[in-house]
Amino acid sequence: MTFTKEEKVEHLQNIIKIKSENDHEEEVAKYIQALLAEHGIDSELVEYKPGRSSLVADVKGQKDGQGKMLVVSGHLDVVAAGDESEWTYPPFAAEIHDGKLYGRGASDMKAGVMALVLSAIELKEAGAPFSGTLRLALTVGEEIGMYGSKQLVEEGYADGASGFLIAEPSSTDLVINAHKGSIQYEIISKGKAAHSSMPELGVDALQLMVDYINATNKDFDAAFNAAGAENEQLGRTINVNTVINGGTQINSVASKIVLKANARTVQEAGNDLVVKIIEDNIAKLNAEGRGELELNMLQNNPSAESQPDNDLIKEIIAANDKEVKVEVIMGATDASNFGRIDGDYDLAIYGPGELGISHQVDEHVEVDEYLLAIDLYNKIIPNYLS
C-alpha cells in the first residue's frame, strides 16, 4: 500500500484543520491537489468564486480509460462550528481520543473526501487495475446551495458517467440508493404600514401571507396526495413552512413579512409542480391588488434515485464481509445535481462517519472506520470499473 496508517490519519487531520466553514474550500482543494501531484495525478481547480474552487482529477484505467466512468465525490465545505467553547476538543484541532478523531467536518464529510483521495492514489500506484475512468469530483458549497456540483454538471464534468459514489457519512454498514429533492425558498409579502386603529389606511402584509399559506397548503395537499403522486421508494412530496418574520410593533399594520419554507420532493410530484403551485397562487393573490407577494428561490434540487440492486451497490455489498443494508434518506446530497445527467446511472451514497452526529458539537469519526473505508473503496472501484 502507498500510505501507512499514520499517514492516512495525518492527511485527514490536515484538511480538518483547514477552516472551510461554508467558504474557503480552495485551501482544502489546493492541499489535495498537491497531494495528488506528488503521486503523478494531474487535477484541475474549477473556480466557483475567489477562494472557492472545486477539484476534478481523473485516474484512467487500462485501454486508456475506455469503458465506464465512475464519478466519486465529496464536498469540501463544512457547517459552522458554532460556539467553540461548547466543544470538548477544539473543532479545528483534529485531536484523537479513544479511537475517535474529533473536528468539524470529521464525519460530514472530510473523512469521506480523504478516503476517496487516498484510494484514487493507491489505485493509481497499483497500476489502475480496471478499465474505464475514475473521476474524482470534490465540490464547494454543498451545505448551502450545492453550488459546486451544479457548476460541475453544467460545465460537463459529469457527462458520460455510469455511476456516482458519494462519500457522505452513512457508516460502512449502510448504503443509500436514493433521496428526495429539496427546494428552499422565501416568500416575501409587501404591504403598507398604518396605525392599527386605522388599518384601512394601510395594506396588511401579514394577512396577505396568511391567505397565501392557506391557499398553497390546500393546493399542495391535493397535488401531493393525488393518484400516482407517491414514489415507491421515497414516499410523497412534502412542504414545510419553517420560519416567519415581520412586523415592527403590536399597534402597527405589518408592511413586510418573510416566510421561509422547504419542500422535499419526489419525481412523481416534482420540483416543477411545487414551483408552479407557488407561482400560480402568488399571481392570483397579487391580482387582487392588496399588497404584493414575491418568490425568492434559494435552492432547487431534484430527487436522486437508482435501483437498490444497481451494479455499484452490488460491488459495495460484495466488498464487505458483513451485512450492508440498503436504504433511502429524506435529506439531499450533491447527487441531486449529478443525477441531472441524461440517462440512467448507478448511485451509491456510502462513506465513513455517522449522519446522526453531523453538524453536532463534538462531531467525530471513528479512525478505524475511516481506514476501513479506504480499503473498501480500493475493492469497490476497480470491481465496478472492470
Q: Note whether 46 and 128 are within 8 A (CB).
A: no
Residues 71 and 207 in one domain: no
Residue type, 245: N
Residues 290 and 321 in one domain: no
Residue 84, C-beta contacts closer than 8 angstroms, at least 6 positions apart: 90, 91
Q: Domain containing 27 — which CATH number?
A: 3.40.630.10
183 strand-pairing partners: 263, 300
Find the largest Cα–Cα distance for the chain: 80
d(CA 46, CA 61): 23
Residues 41 and 94 in one domain: yes
d(CA 190, CA 296): 13
Residues 250 and 265 in one domain: yes
Q: Note whether 284 and 208 are within 8 A (CB).
A: no
Instruction: Give the domain-ending residue among 268, 301, 334.
Output: 301
Instruction: Tell me whether residue 214 is exposed, middle or buried, using C-beta atoms within 10 angstroms of its C-beta: 0 to 12, 13 to 18, 19 or more.
Output: exposed
Q: Note whether 294 and 283 are within 8 A (CB).
A: no
Range of the domain at 268: 181-301
Q: Note whether 20 and 53 are within 8 A (CB).
A: no
Residues 173 and 58 in one domain: yes
Residue type, 76: L
Helices marked H in 110-204: 111-125, 147-154
Instruction: Give the domain-ending residue among 283, 301, 319.
Output: 301
Residues 320 and 289 in one domain: no
**Strand 43-49 versus strand 52-60 pairing type:** antiparallel
Instruction: Give the domain-ending residue among 301, 330, 361.
Output: 301
Q: Note whether 202 and 382 are within 8 A (CB).
A: no
d(CA 250, CA 327): 49
* Overall number of domains in the chain: 2
Residues 264 and 366 in one domain: no
What letter would DSSP give residue 246?
E
231 strand-pairing partners: 235
Q: Domain containing 295 — which CATH number?
A: 3.30.70.360
Residues 161 and 46 in one domain: yes
Residues 293 and 320 in one domain: no
Residues 341 and 295 in one domain: no
Angle at 306 between CA 300 and CA 309, to 5 degrees: 160
Residues 42 and 137 in one domain: yes
pLDDT digits (tens), the chain, 386 positions: 689 999 999 999 999 999 999 999 999 999 999 999 999 999 999 999 999 999 999 999 987 767 899 999 999 999 999 999 999 999 999 999 999 999 999 999 999 999 999 999 999 999 999 999 999 999 999 998 899 999 999 999 999 999 999 999 999 999 999 999 999 999 999 999 999 999 999 999 999 999 999 999 999 999 999 999 999 999 999 999 999 999 999 999 999 999 999 999 999 999 999 999 999 999 999 999 999 999 999 989 999 999 999 999 999 999 999 999 999 998 889 999 998 888 889 999 999 999 889 899 999 999 999 999 999 999 999 999 98
- Residues with a catalytic annotation lie at 77, 142
